[in-house]
Amino acid sequence: MQDDVYRYNKERWEALVEADALFTRPMLDLDTEKARAYLGLERLGLPGDLAGRKVLCLAGGGGQQSAAFALLGADVTVLDISSGQLERDRSAAEHYGVGIRTIQGDMRDLSALDESSFDLVWHPYSLTFVPDSRIVFREVARVVARGGHYYLMCANPFFAGLTHDSWNGEGYTLKLPYTDEAEASYPDQDWVYDRKAPGRLISEPREYTQTLSRIVNSLTREGFVLTLLSEVRGDYPGAEPGSWSHFTGVAPPWLEFVWEYRPGIVGG
């Protein structure tokens, strides 16, 4: 599915790898204790025994989550749009002496993967990079096993398009309509990569809003049952209004979901 969305995202993520952006840096200082704490499986209510369990890191390259899962004994596959990100997964695997399977592709097309083949699909922040989330959810439902889990971290739909720069002196001003597939673009945060490096010009993220109703109803129709919803927010007491810390405390920018695949119970 190499459309304009695919090409834009691929080009941007290869540039982010070249810039050594935060989310492209492999984690090379993990042990099993650190890996378990990093993934937060207990907090999410997910099974802690990963030995032999098949895990798909969906649009989650970079040698971070994949390395943590592999260290805990999981059979790990990573699918990502960026060859550079996947190379970092392979580097992390070599560093730890573990096996990680890597596949370059689009989260909207998982045809390279077998049906009902994963116990856990782990989907870090990336859903907003495609317009229609329903395509992704259908693909996930095809590859996850009955009784398996789907972890999804995505933008909080109610604050899509906002950053700390949206401070107007009294609050953070919403400007985008609350609708599916509205396009938004804004500069990367300063902590993502060194934006002041000479000659460095990386396209801004191009994101698409996903309403909460579409996310929940679409996954329910595919046969998923929600087991956890968490708002990822900052701790901002004393933070300066208009700062990133203050913004994340007032307008939690991300949501985490855990879904269990139970087709035939509801909607599937």
Write down the pLDDT at residue 256.
97
Query: Based on the number of CB atoms within 10 Å of its own CB, is 80 exposed (0-12), middle (13-18) or buried (19 or more)?
Result: buried
Pairwise CA distance, residues 61 & 113, whole Å: 16
Rounded to whole angstroms, how far apart are CA atoms 248 and 150? 25
Sort strands 75-80 and 54-58 into parallel, antiparallel or unpaired.
parallel
Give Dmax (Cα) for the chain.
56
CA distances from 59 to 13, 164, 177 (A): 11, 26, 27
The CA R_g of the chain, rounded to the nearest whole Å, is 18
Ranges 38-47, 155-164, 195-204, 234-243: which has the least confidence? 195-204
Report CA dihedral (33, 75, 23, 236) to the nearest 10 degrees.
-50
Average pLDDT, the chain: 93
Question: Hey, is 158 helix, strand or coil?
Answer: helix
Residue 130: its pLDDT value, please? Answer: 97
Paired tokens of 220: 């329910």
Closest to 99 measured CA to CA, from 74, 124, 62 = 74
φ, ψ for residue 123, nearest 5 deg = -120, 90
E strands along the chain, which residues?
Answer: 54-58, 75-80, 100-104, 118-123, 144-155, 183-185, 206-208, 224-232, 254-261
Least confident interval from 39-48, 144-153, 227-236: 227-236
* pLDDT tens track for 108-136: 999 999 999 999 999 999 999 999 999 99
| Residues whose CB is less than 8 angstroms from the CB of residue 156 and which lie 6 or more positions away in sequence, other chains included | 231, 251, 252, 253, 254, 255
Measured distance CA(210)–CA(245) in Å, rounded: 24
Question: How far is 201 from 182, CA to CA, in rounded Å?
Answer: 25
Within 13 A of 180's CA, how many CA atoms are on the CB side?
A: 13
pLDDT class for 161, splitting at 50, 70, 90?
Answer: confident
